[in-house]
Chains A and B, each alone.
Chain A
Amino acid sequence: MSKSEIINKDTRKVTIKAFRFNAETDYLPYYKNYEMEVGKDELILDLMNRIKWEHDGSFSYRRSCRHGICGACAIKVNGKAVLACKQNAIELLDLFDNDITLEPSSKKRAIKDMIIDKSDFWEKHAAVKPYVVAEIEARPEHETKQSIAEFNNFLDSDLCIQCGACHYSCPALEVNDAFLGPAALNAAYRFTIDTRDEAGDERLAITAEMGSGVWDCVKCYECAEACPKEIDPIEKIGKLHNLQFVRGVAESNVATRHAEGFLRGMKKTGYLDEADIVTYSEGYLGMYKHLGTAFKMMKSGKIHWHSGIPFIDSIPKIKNLDEVQKLIEISQTNKL
């Protein structure tokens, strides 16, 4: 049975659940229900306002601009990152069958209700030097402009409002506290691509570090899904990967060899050579730790000997392989 009661076509009576927690007085968080009538034009921010104004004045959340600019009111509704002042409430009530729960962007960082400690976000942001680094004259005679083409290279990275929706939706960050995360990496791209900036190489070195930089992104696209400004942070992470090679600052390591190593199999057969890329990127010693998996794969018929002989021509060749070989030869622009 639906939890809502349709009053007229423009409003519905619903019960909104909200995460409640006060780090100073509560040992554990809890959830409370709030009944209200929701209009078709109301935003998630309006629901939070009404909890505070009509039900419980102690309900706490950050809010400021109310038009998607300040980034203060990012929260999660049923686990989905939303900017409360941009997200229509009825739309989410429809999506979740009138059963919605308001939670902070990151429950483990909750200070009071929807308010979280965002210091990890700001520390990571600061770590990539999110500003133009340049020697400027005290009394410049002319403006230091960007051309339209130069500006277009920013893509949409400059539109970030630092709301943290992508950062606190990133599963790579959830399991790896050191990872810079999509928002900081987006900022790193924004200033590295700026032709007025002189710290590009430094930023590329910071963002290429193993364990914390771009190679630790798991390419799940959750950040692109989460961003209320539709910035597509993972696109900028991909650009940072490329810039390492374009600017010739990429170090040879397991991650860069894994990226470049795709070409080895493609030149031989047109396909990725799954075994070769492990040996090439991790070395023979590194291969050793995968032997258990390889043996299990062999037992369950997941390793095929195309030619009938183990390890010899084990992968089929694509038709017109010479085209791929030629295209790699004439189109490759980067080197490791």
Chain B
Amino acid sequence: MSQLHYALFTGCTAKQSTPELLSSTLAVADKLGIKITILEEASCCGASHLQDFDEFLAHVLNARNICYAEKLGLTMITICNTCQLNSAMTKHALDTDPALKARVNEKLAEVGLEYKGYL
């Protein structure tokens, strides 16, 4: 069986107030023989608060995070339920609304990225 390999979107708190989330995830993955590639490029998901302020911008930034997992061809995993929710909401919005996906990709193209949506 091939080794499991995931792209980890750590989110903000695992890098700040809950470092135990990150260290325990990596330790457990190591024990289970799961390979983890941390998405060091991924930004904050907006935690539903940026979404309250500017929904479109929040979609652009979350799509950017997913782009990096897509680039690696890996399934993205999260260890924060807020990151999970907001990534999933953006993915759902973009995968079901081609016009929104096109508008988001127009912005992402400015930094050389494209959200494909196949993850």
Q: Interface on A for B, CB 8 Å cutoff?
A: 219, 238, 241-242, 245, 256, 258-260, 262-263, 265-266, 270-272, 274, 297, 301-304, 315-316, 318-320, 322-324, 326-328, 330-334, 336
Q: Residues of A contacting B42 with CB < 8 Å?
A: 270, 318
Proximity bits, B41-59, A CB within 8 Å = 1, else 0: 1111011111111111100
Q: Residues of B contacting A334 with CB < 8 Å?
A: 53-54, 57
Q: Please give the distance in Å from A149's CB to the nearest CB on chain B.
A: 11
Would you list 29 pairs from A and B whose C-beta atoms are within 8 A, ordered by A residue? A238-B52, A241-B51, A241-B52, A256-B53, A259-B49, A259-B53, A262-B53, A266-B43, A270-B42, A270-B44, A271-B16, A271-B44, A272-B47, A274-B16, A274-B17, A297-B17, A303-B16, A303-B17, A315-B16, A316-B15, A318-B42, A319-B41, A320-B111, A322-B111, A323-B113, A327-B57, A327-B107, A334-B53, A334-B57
Quick check: B51 and A271 within 8 Å, CB to CB? no
Quick check: B48 and A219 within 8 Å, CB to CB? yes
Alpha-carbon gap, A315 to B18, bound state (A): 13
Say yes or no: A262-B50 contact (C-beta < 8 A), given A318-B41, A319-B40, A331-B107: yes
Q: Residues of B contacting A332 with CB < 8 Å?
A: 54, 57
**Additional A-B contacts beyond A302-B19, A324-B61 (14; CB < 8 A):** A238-B52, A242-B53, A258-B49, A263-B53, A265-B12, A302-B16, A315-B16, A319-B40, A320-B41, A323-B113, A324-B43, A324-B64, A334-B53, A334-B57
Q: Residues of B contacting A303 with CB < 8 Å?
A: 16-17
Q: Please give the distance in Å from A66's CB to the nearest CB on chain B.
A: 33
Q: Please give the distance in Å from B70's CB to the nearest CB on chain A.
A: 15
Quick check: A242 and B54 within 8 Å, CB to CB? yes
Q: Interface on B for A, CB 8 Å cutoff?
A: 12-13, 15-19, 40-44, 46-57, 60-61, 64, 107-108, 110-111, 113
Alpha-carbon gap, A327 to B104, bound state (A): 10
Q: Residues of A contacting B15 with CB < 8 Å?
A: 271, 304, 315-316
Alpha-carbon gap, A318 to B49, bound state (A): 20
Q: Residues of B contacting A328 with CB < 8 Å?
A: 57, 61
Alpha-carbon gap, A128 to B12, bound state (A): 37
The 10 closest A-B pairs by CB, nearest first: A241-B52, A259-B53, A323-B111, A270-B43, A272-B12, A271-B12, A262-B50, A334-B54, A331-B60, A319-B40
Q: Please give the distance in Å from A219's CB to the nearest CB on chain B.
A: 5
Alpha-carbon gap, A178 to B24, bound state (A): 41
Q: Please give the distance in Å from B93's CB to the nearest CB on chain A.
A: 11
Partner of B61, one of A245, A301, A327: A327
Quick check: A259 and B60 within 8 Å, CB to CB? no
Q: Residues of A contacting B50 with CB < 8 Å?
A: 259, 262-263, 266
Alpha-carbon gap, A101 to B46, bound state (A): 40
Q: Please give the distance in Å from B61's CB to the nearest CB on chain A.
A: 6
Partner of A262, one of B49, B56, B107, B108: B49
Q: Please give the distance in Å from A252's CB to the nearest CB on chain B.
A: 12
Q: Please give the distance in Å from A291's CB to the nearest CB on chain B.
A: 15
Quick check: B54 and A333 within 8 Å, CB to CB? yes
Quick check: A241 and B53 within 8 Å, CB to CB? yes
A242, A262, A316, A324: most-surrounded residue (chain B CB, <10 A): A262
B12, B46, B50, B110: most-surrounded residue (chain A CB, <10 A): B12
Quick check: A274 and B12 within 8 Å, CB to CB? yes
Quick check: A302 and B54 within 8 Å, CB to CB? no
Alpha-carbon gap, A301 to B56, bound state (A): 36
Which chain B residue lies CB-closest to A261?
Answer: B49
Say yes or no: A323-B51 contact (C-beta < 8 A), given A271-B44, A274-B16: no
Quick check: B57 and A262 within 8 Å, CB to CB? no
Q: Residues of A contacting B57 with CB < 8 Å?
A: 327-328, 331-334
Alpha-carbon gap, A323 to B41, bound state (A): 9
Quick check: A330 and B107 within 8 Å, CB to CB? yes
Alpha-carbon gap, A270 to B44, bound state (A): 6
Q: Residues of A contacting B41 with CB < 8 Å?
A: 318-320, 323
Alpha-carbon gap, A104 to B60, bound state (A): 44
Q: Please give the distance in Å from A44's CB to the nearest CB on chain B.
A: 30
Q: Residues of B contacting A336 with CB < 8 Å?
A: 53
